[in-house]
Structure 1
Amino acid sequence: MTSRRIRIDVPALTRVEGEGSLRLEVRDGKLVELGLSIFEPPRYFEKFLEGREAREVVDIVARICGICPVAYQISALNALESLANESAPDWALTMRRVFYCGEWLQSHALHIHLLALPDFLGFDNAIAMAGQHPDEVKRGLKLQGLGNALIRLFGGRSVHPVGARLGGFHHAPAADDVSALTHKLKAAQADAADLTRFCASLPLPNDPQDFIGVALHHPDRYAMECGNIRTSTGLMLSAAQFEQHFHETQKSDSTALWSDFDGQPYLTGPLARLNLNHAQLPDFLHTRLGEIGLALPSSNMFHSLIARAVEIELALHEAITLLEGYTCPAAPYAPLSLQAGTGYGMSEAPRGLLWHRYEIGEDQLIKAARIVPPTSQNQARIEADLHRSLTAFGLDHDEDALRLRAEQVIRNYDPCISCATHFLTLKRVER
């Protein structure tokens, strides 16, 4: 009997957060051990928030992530404003959705063009890919730039924006600025349609598997900035019910928390959203799904790439629709008073469900905070997917092939850790 141990290590790289490694042990052609370990240092943001005024939360949580700051701000605002006697003005609530469209647009464009496409076009990185596929890279940078421009329009800047506040925004964009950006968004719709077709034409692996999907659902629109939790098992839950079904645990070999849904791994993110909410897509995207032959719900995690492209088209369409006929409001926010108590809020970050809870005292200071990001929610699902996908792929492949397939599987989830780029080095020890 022979035992082959393949060890995949993650070196610390620039432009990424955290470190991780993947352990594989194969005996007699069977995968007997698989461990995904994440080495993110504690960031303490929840403790930073304790003792701060509620109004400070929005700016502080924007620093948690340079790619998804809007998601952290909107989830926080949803939680805090659940304790207000009044709601933010309709104008502010509508523009928050536009603000969020910018984040989906820039994040999805970045992932598809710079992180995922090299996998399927046969390159080690996007720089090497650009030599033979310059148009694809230029398209990605253009779409990402438009997303950043949308975030900047309302947030003052595209990274760690500062425009959002309790009750609305600190300022309202000028009508001329909105009109100019809307024109650019319309011009990009053809690029987005081409991107969806291009992603659907790629030789994506066919690897169907069973998984539980979790996403927000809104009765009136494709959920993004608000909604209730919907699961593929048939549950519909409010933000306040999250902790009854979703639990975090600490693994001995990982500094990141791992989540489960009633004891089971689950998927959150673009494919889960598309599976659960595709009926709410606009008509032109139903036509697009038929054109590319994507049947939903899909059980192939590699269709996450196509789901991101579809959501880019959706984000452009939503932003254009909501910005047409834009007029400046009399005031960009309403002053809100918060009651003491516990507020719960959530939204759909590009990578999936982002849940917040805040306890506020009579003195309007934060007594406790809890934040559950999508990456920690997906980690158990990633590990289960790796076990299933690598076994189906064939454990007799050489190290390079196994490494590439493992990287592809991990990047399907676009985690906000070093796993999100081409990172794995492989060391094999034969015994």
Structure 2
Amino acid sequence: MSKAAEPNQRVIEVHNLARVEGEGALYLRMQGRDVAEVKFSIFEPPRFFEAFLRGRDCREVPDITARICGICPVAYQMSSCHAMEMAFGIKIEKTIRDLRRLLYCGEWIESHVLHMFLLHLPDFLNYESAISMASEHRDLVAGALQLKKAGNEIVRILGGREVHPINACIGGFHRVPTRSELEPVAEMLAGCRDFLVQALRFLATLKYPDLEMNYDFIALRHPEEVALNEGYLTTSRGLEFAITQFSDQIEEIHQRHSNAL
């Protein structure tokens, strides 16, 4: 919604952003052709997971934290497992580590495909939704859904179910899948390979805004592999520190216009 403000000033408000994995709103104030003020609000109410985990049995924590998000539950579940294992001095074996990485990859596949093809791409191609985009790009949407299905299947087999997985636990898994259960997933992924190569070539042709912001990005980094479960924290300005030093290096600040930290 756009509304008039002071002369030569315009305010744009989007009360419900439809292209994000979650709930958000946008306030934009323009002064002529310049952006004078931007506020991005997460209006989902806080749920106080840190508070109601206190006093619970440590074995309950992975299942509870998986409920934080229905799209990226593995991130929260694995973080809680790592925290408990670090506290108890538990070292996991290579097989468990590999299976956890596979579980995480399954989440990355389904979550990233949702974002790239179903939420983000319609805006680039000027469609109101992925459904309307499918009218002219049917193979692209169908291939994306098949790839997302493969990611969901990985999470289901390793996590116990597609949403809010329950199979990961401190030290490993409650149940490790058999080879016969995993082989169909390998076939699904192999079947998606050609689509993925073509899709990446198509995505590379999109025109992205030439915009650089003075943000300090932070990410997990591993010297030998794509960081999923292990590594150290690094920022775009070159700061590096251990995960255990997060609270010493990072200050979380609450904004009045948003429930997100």
Corresponding residue for residue 163 of structure 1: 167
Cα distance change on mapping 1:16 and 1:10 into 2, 3 Å: farther
Corresponding residue for residue 10 of structure 2: 5
Q: Which of 115, 137, 158 is the equivalent residue of 2:141?
A: 137
Cα drift, residue 2 of structure 1: 2.4
Is 245-254 or 166-175 further displaced after alignment? Answer: 245-254
Corresponding residue for residue 71 of structure 1: 75
Within 5 Å, give how 1:319-358 maps onto structure 2.
Answer: none
Cα distance change on mapping 1:212 and 1:256 into 2, 3 Å: closer
Contact 2:16 2:23 in 1 (8 A): no
Cα drift, residue 7 of structure 1: 2.6
Within 5 Å, give how 1:5-24 maps onto structure 2.
Answer: 5-11=10-16, 17-24=22-29
Cα distance change on mapping 1:204 and 1:41 into 2, 3 Å: same
Cα distance change on mapping 1:233 and 1:103 into 2, 3 Å: same
TM-score (structure 2 length as normaliser): 0.91
Corresponding residue for residue 59 of structure 1: 63
Alpha-carbon separation, structure 2, partners of 1:144 and 1:29? 40
Contact 2:24 2:40 in 1 (8 A): no
State the Cα deviation string for residues 239-266 of structure 1 (Å, max 9, x = none).
1111122111122222222xxxxxxxxx
Within 5 Å, give how 1:81-96 maps onto structure 2.
Answer: 81-96=85-100
Counterpart of 1:226 in 2: which secondary structure? coil
Cα drift, residue 187 of structure 1: 2.2
Alpha-carbon separation, structure 2, partners of 1:205 and 1:255? 28
Alpha-carbon separation, structure 1, partners of 2:57 and 2:67? 17
Cα distance change on mapping 1:180 and 1:255 into 2, 3 Å: closer
Counterpart of 1:63 in 2: which secondary structure? helix
Contact 1:21 1:38 in 2 (8 A): no
Cα distance change on mapping 1:197 and 1:178 into 2, 3 Å: same
Counterpart of 1:219 in 2: which secondary structure? coil
Amino acid at match of 1:6: V
Cα drift, residue 29 of structure 1: 4.1
Cα distance change on mapping 1:223 and 1:117 into 2, 3 Å: same
Alpha-carbon separation, structure 2, partners of 1:34 and 1:180? 47
State the Cα deviation string for residues 65-113 of structure 1 (Å, max 9, x = none).
0000111111111111001233122211111001100000001111111
- 2:205 pairs with 1:212: no
Counterpart of 1:22 in 2: which secondary structure? strand
State the Cα deviation string for residues 220-250 of structure 1 (Å, max 9, x = none).
2111122110222222211111112211112
Cα drift, residue 122 of structure 1: 1.1
Cα distance change on mapping 1:32 and 1:85 into 2, 3 Å: closer
Counterpart of 2:143 in 1: which secondary structure? helix
Corresponding residue for residue 127 of structure 2: 123
Cα distance change on mapping 1:100 and 1:201 into 2, 3 Å: same
- 2:151 pairs with 1:147: yes
Corresponding residue for residue 261 of structure 1: none
Query: 1 or 2, which has the higher strand percentage?
Result: 1
Tell me how many residue pairs correspond in the alignment. Answer: 255
Cα drift, residue 12 of structure 1: 8.3
State the Cα deviation string for residues 182-237 of structure 1 (Å, max 9, x = none).
12212222221112111101222333444433211112211112211022222221
Is 115-124 or 28-37 further displaced after alignment? Answer: 28-37
Cα distance change on mapping 1:209 and 1:34 into 2, 3 Å: closer
Amino acid at match of 1:74: M
Contact 1:58 1:165 in 2 (8 A): yes
TM-score (structure 1 length as normaliser): 0.56
Cα distance change on mapping 1:175 and 1:211 into 2, 3 Å: same
Alignment RMSD, CA only?
A: 2.0
Corresponding residue for residue 257 of structure 2: 253
Amino acid at match of 2:67: R
Cα distance change on mapping 1:102 and 1:118 into 2, 3 Å: same
Counterpart of 2:154 in 1: which secondary structure? helix
State the Cα deviation string for residues 377-402 of structure 1 (Å, max 9, x = none).
xxxxxxxxxxxxxxxxxxxxxxxxxx
Amino acid at match of 2:10: R
Any stretches of 5+ residues in structure 2 without a counterpart? 1-5
- 2:205 pairs with 1:201: yes
Amino acid at match of 2:28: R
Corresponding residue for residue 113 of structure 2: 109
Corresponding residue for residue 371 of structure 1: none
